Amino acid sequence: MILFQCDYNEGAHPRVLEKLVETNLDQTVGYGEDEHCAHAAELIRKACGDDSLAVHFLVGGTQANMTVIAAALRPHQGVIAAQTGHINGHETGAVESTGHKVLALPQKNGKIDASQVAELCEAHLHDASFEHTVQPKMVYISNPTEYGTLYTGKELEELSAVCRRYGLYLFLDGARLGYGLAAADNELNLPLIARCCDVFYIGGTKVGALFGEAVVMSNEELKKDFRYLIKQKGGMLAKGRLLGVQFETLFEDDLYLEISRHADRLADKLREAFVEAGFPMLVESRTNQIFPILPDTILEKLGHDYGYTWQERVDETHSAVRFCTSWATREENVDRLIADLKRLALSV
């Protein structure tokens, strides 16, 4: 059985693990106040081209999302997100558990745009009973999105502008950021993201680390007292240096992007094979998640040897599913899958 259902089926990139082994018995102080965290933060600031950024390391994505959002909002404020945004549907109401409504907007390929945000804000401002509705105060986007798609530079800059116009924070969930930055059609880069967003995070869990996300903040209001929030929400690792060591390794040279490119290349290869075999994509994307539409009969057969995730029913006999590659995916496994796919396609 070869697993393609997600990008966290394996442990860490060998170089990350080596560094953990190498530093294992060193003594450091706890809670992220060690030199590895300081160094990793420095490397990330440099990659973002901004010395004034605050960088914090949290254990996981749900935690990063809920901690950032809870830190940013007052009780009557909510966060705008795509209907398909991770915080809206796949975190067991973590945001609501901190008291805040997710203001869900219709999405297109997993994305929302500046005009939707403007429309919602205008409607709020002109509602005679505006104090009876949740005040929009933050926009949450994910890049790559839950559909593997990417925001263009223009889209991100427009979202940033609309947020500034209406006094909203812009928050980018980069759980798979590496796979976005390394994609063939990517237009973004870290300095641009840091300039456009008030806060974003660089995902480690899905991109080479055992676990960990690096939260990056440019907005001074958000920086204030953030470590209290990390502690309160359960995200302050006693051995914080584990996170520092991992991100140090990923950002010391081009490792983070290099391993992301590997995954994207294999996803491209797999995507082309699906299309060649006659199976269209639910959504066009060039990152590490692909969403082919297949006959249920073929899916059933593929399922004996390969793990994938069911996404949605397309018609009575076809479903869209998700295949993921990652930094850890072996090309030989992709090739084997492609071969089996071709065989099955011929047999239809």
Helix (H, G, I), strand (E, B) or coil at 107: coil
316 sits near a second copy (criterion: CB under 8 A)? no
331 sits near a second copy (criterion: CB under 8 A)? no
Measured from the CB atom, the residue of 108 and 239 that comes closer to a second copy is 239
- Binding string, residues 225-244; x marks residues near a second copy by CB under 8 A: x-xxx-xxxxxxxxx--x--
Helix (H, G, I), strand (E, B) or coil at 313: strand
Region near a second copy per CB under 8 A, out of 37-45, 73-81, 179-187, 260-268: 73-81
Region near a second copy per CB under 8 A, out of 15-23, 113-121, 154-162, 186-194: 15-23
Residue 82 phi/psi, 5-degree rounding, is -65, 145
Cα separation, 287 vs 306, whole angstroms: 20
266 sits near a second copy (criterion: CB under 8 A)? no
Write the burial class of residue 166 (CB in 10 Å: 0-12 exposed, 13-18 middle, 19+ buried): middle
134 sits near a second copy (criterion: CB under 8 A)? yes
CB of 187 to a second copy, least distance (A): 28
150 sits near a second copy (criterion: CB under 8 A)? no
129 sits near a second copy (criterion: CB under 8 A)? yes
Region near a second copy per CB under 8 A, out of 64-72, 112-120, 141-149, 184-192: 64-72
Measured from the CB atom, the residue of 62 and 319 that comes closer to a second copy is 62
What DSSP string runs through 244-303?
HHHHHHHHHSSHHHHHHHHHHHHHHHHHHHHHHTT--BSS---SSEE-BEEEHHHHHHHT
Measured from the CB atom, the residue of 17 and 161 that comes closer to a second copy is 17
116 sits near a second copy (criterion: CB under 8 A)? no
Asked if 149 and 111 count as a contact pair (C-beta separation under 8 A), the reply is yes
Report the largest interatomic distance among the alpha carbons of the chain, rounded to a whole angstrom. Answer: 63
The residue within the footprint of a second copy, chosen from 29, 125, 184, 275 (CB under 8 A), is 29
The residue within the footprint of a second copy, chosen from 84, 107, 116, 135 (CB under 8 A), is 135
39-58 residues in contact with a second copy (CB under 8 A) are none
78-97 residues in contact with a second copy (CB under 8 A) are 78, 89-94, 96-97
| C-alpha atoms less than 13 angstroms from C-alpha of 82 in its C-beta half-sphere | 23
| C-alpha atoms less than 13 angstroms from C-alpha of 57 in its C-beta half-sphere | 30
- Between the CA of residue 348 and those of 203, 253, 271, 297, what are the distances in Å? 40, 47, 19, 9
182-221 residues in contact with a second copy (CB under 8 A) are 205-206, 210-211
276 sits near a second copy (criterion: CB under 8 A)? no
DSSP state of 131: G
The residue within the footprint of a second copy, chosen from 98, 258, 318, 344 (CB under 8 A), is 98
59 sits near a second copy (criterion: CB under 8 A)? yes
Asked if 102 and 65 count as a contact pair (C-beta separation under 8 A), the reply is no
